[in-house]
Amino acid sequence: MNHQPSPFAPARTQLDAVPKALRARGYRFIAVTPATHRIVNARPENGMACGIADVFGWNRNFTPEILGPELFAIAQSAGVVVPAGNARSGVWRSLVRAASLGELILLHSSFPTDSPESVFFGPDTYRFADTVAAYLARRPVIGRAIDIGCGTGAVGLAIARAYPGAQVVLADLSPAALAAASANAAAAGLANVCCCHSDLLDGVEGRFDLIVANPPYLIDPAARLYRHGGGRLGEGVSLRIVRTAPPLLAPGGSLVLYTGCAIVDGRDAFREAALPLVEAAGCRWTYREIDPDVFGEELAGGAYAGADRIAAVALTVERPS
């Protein structure tokens, strides 16, 4: 378990210098699942970093010459690298990782993400981004948007890039997530973004043309914010969004919710609970499975011992104009 202090503190400065420097060096890294990350890093040849992506992507121990003096100095000034073990060994470790999403370089937490303060980025982020991008392809104008439970801010920042005239709010309950999102927004040079501390939509005002969310949807015994959805099988936070978002949609506005649901005896209990809420709010909806089988390792016991599978799904809710 990683017991290093979180680099994502509200008072931390110069964090945005790290993704800026990485982008200038043509950095690219696709974040993988924790299971894949663990397997790849366990290979004997991967014990130490051999390049920049090994340091900030695979999060392997490194020696300063791997980064070069300029990038190492930037990382030190930002407080994101620390000695690994004995300081006299000359071996260091990064407290952050960086992932690519299109042209964005996004800071997120080091591996493994065991801390309650962890800011997560992984395959779900890419699926969420693709889901929202597919919606945006048929939406010519957005004046105001919000990414609730924004984490790294990845999808909210992608919206801000696509709609430079829009106001985009990045909202999260986690101060660490907001610090990461703020740094990522600054690194991307996006002036049409603001960060807001909010428990889902409780801390925001006004109406939105677009609300997007990728809430936690698993039962996590450690109750980590980025992972624990509550309810019987992880659907609690997602259903709360379905209840609270429609009144905050502007006429013609939409909610795009990417989440997961446990399928038990062939039934999708989240869908059965969510759609009546949408219809009671007078909204239209579409619903589809994006990936029929995610987090299969959760089925081995615990809350999911009786589940057939866990599916990634997208619910789009549209308020009439």
Give the pLDDT of residue 9.
Answer: 76
Same domain, 104 and 224: no
- What integer pLDDT is reported at residue 307 of this predicted model? 98
12 occurs within a structural domain: no
Q: Are residues 133 and 103 in the same domain?
A: no
Tens digits of residue pLDDT in 52-73 = 999 999 999 999 999 999 999 9
Enclosing domain of residue 258:
123-318
pLDDT for residue 139: 85
Residue finishing a domain among 83, 109, 135: 109
Instruction: Find, among 209, 227, 210, the residue nearest to 218 by Cα.
Output: 227
Q: Which residue has the tokens 């428990």?
A: 199
- pLDDT at res. 47: 94
Q: Do 155 and 77 fall within a single domain?
A: no
Closest-CA residue to 244 (of 146, 165, 151): 146
List all residues 6 or more positions away from 69 whose beta carbon is below 8 Å from its beta carbon: none
* Per-residue confidence (pLDDT) for residue 34, from 0 to 100: 95
Taking a C-beta distance cutoff of 8 angstroms, is the pair 181, 187 a contact?
no
The encoded tokens of residue 171 equal: 């909202």
Please provide the DSSP assignment of 246-271 as one string: GGGEEEEEEEEEEEEEEEETTEEHHH
Q: Are residues 133 and 98 in the same domain?
A: no
What pLDDT is recorded for position 2? 44
Beta bridge partners of 318: 254, 284
DSSP 14: S
Q: Would you say residue 254 lies in a domain?
A: yes
- For position 257, which CATH number holds? 3.40.50.150
Write out the H or E segment, with its range, that includes residue 193.
strand 193-197
Predicted local confidence at residue 50, as pLDDT: 98
Alpha helices in the chain (DSSP H): 17-24, 34-41, 52-56, 68-78, 123-136, 154-162, 175-188, 236-244, 269-280
In this structure, the answer to whether residues 260 and 157 fall within a common structural domain is yes
Q: Give the span between the Cα atoms of 98 and 27, in whole angstroms.
A: 9
Gyration radius of the chain over CA positions: 20
Return d(Cα 24, Cα 259) in angstroms, integer: 34
Task: Check whether residue 165 and residue 70 sit in a common domain.
Answer: no
Give the pLDDT of residue 72. Answer: 98
59 and 127 both lie in a single domain? no
Residues counted in the chain: 321
Is the peptide bond preceding residue 112 cis, with omega within 30 degrees of 0? yes
Which residues of the chain register pLDDT less than 70?
A: 1-5, 10-12
Half-sphere exposure at residue 197, Cβ-oriented, CA atoms within 13 angstroms: 5
- What pLDDT, in 10s, does the model give residues 299-309? 999 999 999 99
Q: Which of 101, 49, 40 is nearest to 75 (CA)?
A: 49
What is the number of other CB atoms lying within 10 angstroms of the CB of residue 176? 23
Q: Any idea which residue has 């340091």 for tokens?
A: 55
Round to whole Å and give the CA distance between 70 and 28.
19
Is 114 inside any structural domain? no
Q: Distance between CA atoms of 188 and 74, rounded to whole angstroms?
A: 17
130 and 89 belong to one structural domain: no
Same-domain pairing of 105 and 139: no
Q: Which residue has the tokens 């659907």?
A: 235
Compute the distance between CA of residue 245 and CA of residue 260 in angstroms, rounded to an integer. Answer: 18
Asked whether residue 38 is assigned to any structural domain, the reply reads yes
